[in-house]
Amino acid sequence: MNQKDLKRYKKMLEDSKASLLESAKKTLVEESSFDTDDLPDEIDLASSEYAQSMVFRLRDREKFLLQKIEKALVRIEDGTFGVCERCEEDISPKRLDARPVTTLCIRCKEEQEKKEKSYG
């Protein structure tokens, strides 16, 4: 992979990382103002707790994505970005454009999903 493409993918990943961190900061500010005494009845409280649970679940998924982004940035630095970790073939640019955090080429990913489905 050439340096121009690596710079483009690095920028994509850094932009995604910045967006996730900004979103997390906003949520932290919004959620820190949550006070159960402001809710007049049990239904409002349950609804609010459900919404808060969903936010935490989304934050957990974002945390996992943030870890993937960090690993992809490390792979850019060490020269392994864009190489399938299973078959060691190049990952197609279309796949990297769609999912720059990927570590598997499309063929290996499909094989992995078939195995997971058969165990599922």
Residues 106 and 92 sit within 8 Å (Cβ to Cβ): yes
> What pLDDT is recorded for position 7?
97
Looking at the structure, tell me whether residues 64 and 119 fall in a common domain. no
Could you list the residue range(s) of the whole structural domain that residue 68 is in? 1-81
Residues 23 and 56 in one domain: yes
Looking at the fold, whether 76 and 98 belong to one and the same domain comes out as no
Q: How many residues does the chain have?
A: 120
The whole-number average pLDDT for the span 38-52 is 70
Q: Are residues 67 and 118 in the same domain?
A: no
C-alpha span between 39 and 34 (Å, rounded): 10
The pTM of this model reads: 0.77
State the total domains in the chain.
Answer: 2
Question: Are both 28 and 87 inside the same structural domain?
Answer: no
Q: Which residue has the higher pLDDT, 43 or 77?
A: 77
Tokens of 115: 């195995």
Mean pLDDT of the chain, nearest integer? 87
DSSP labels for 20-44? HHHHHHHHHHHHHT--GGG--SHHH
Residue 116 has pLDDT above 70, yes or no: yes
| Buried-state track 89-114, b at ≥16 Cβ within 10 A, e below 16 | eebeeebbeeebbbbbbeebbeeeee
Q: Are residues 31 and 56 in the same domain?
A: yes
Write down the pLDDT at residue 112: 96
pLDDT digits (tens, 9 = 90+) for 10-27: 999 999 999 998 887 776
DSSP E strands in 1-120: the ranges are none
Percent of the chain residues past pLDDT 70, beyond the cut? 87
- Residue 51's identity, in one-letter code, is A
Query: In the predicted model, is pLDDT for residue 53 greater than 70?
Result: yes
Residue 27 belongs to domain with CATH number: 1.20.120.910
d(CA 67, CA 102): 12
